[in-house]
Amino acid sequence: MLPLLTLQDLENFDDQLRADSTFKKKVLNWCGRGQKTGLKSRPIHQVLLSAVLRNPAQQNSTEADVEMTVRNWLRLSRDRNGGRQRRGEQAS
């Protein structure tokens, strides 16, 4: 799956992120701990920073702000799209 070398690879990756709610927690994290791919050491890290910091609404943001937001987004991804609710229903 990674690295993404072509536009088609990116589109396939995007489709998988949308279709498989557990994919993000299985594959990606910020630092690459465990068996996961770390975003911090990949070229996508610089692409993401550049894109966000170029946005006029984010002109006062620092790299640390962007990194913290991405880390939180990845960390909380399993609660999106009803994930927390489904886990609660399974526990009861």
Distance CA 92, CA 77 (A): 22
Distance CA 89, CA 31 (A): 31
For residue 56, is it within any domain?
Answer: yes
Domains contained in the chain, number? 1
For residue 75, is it within any domain?
Answer: no
For residue 85, is it within any domain?
Answer: no
Distance CA 80, CA 73 (A): 10
Range of the domain at 59: 25-66
Amino acid at 18: R
For residue 2, is it within any domain?
Answer: no
Confidence of residue 12 (pLDDT cuts 50, 70, 90): confident
Residue with tokens 């009861």: 92
* Average pLDDT score over residue span 14-18: 77
Q: What are 38's strand-pairing partners?
A: 29
Predicted local distance difference test score (pLDDT) of residue 11: 85
Residue with tokens 């937001």: 69
Predicted local distance difference test score (pLDDT) of residue 25: 60
Confidence of residue 74 (pLDDT cuts 50, 70, 90): confident
For residue 1, is it within any domain?
Answer: no
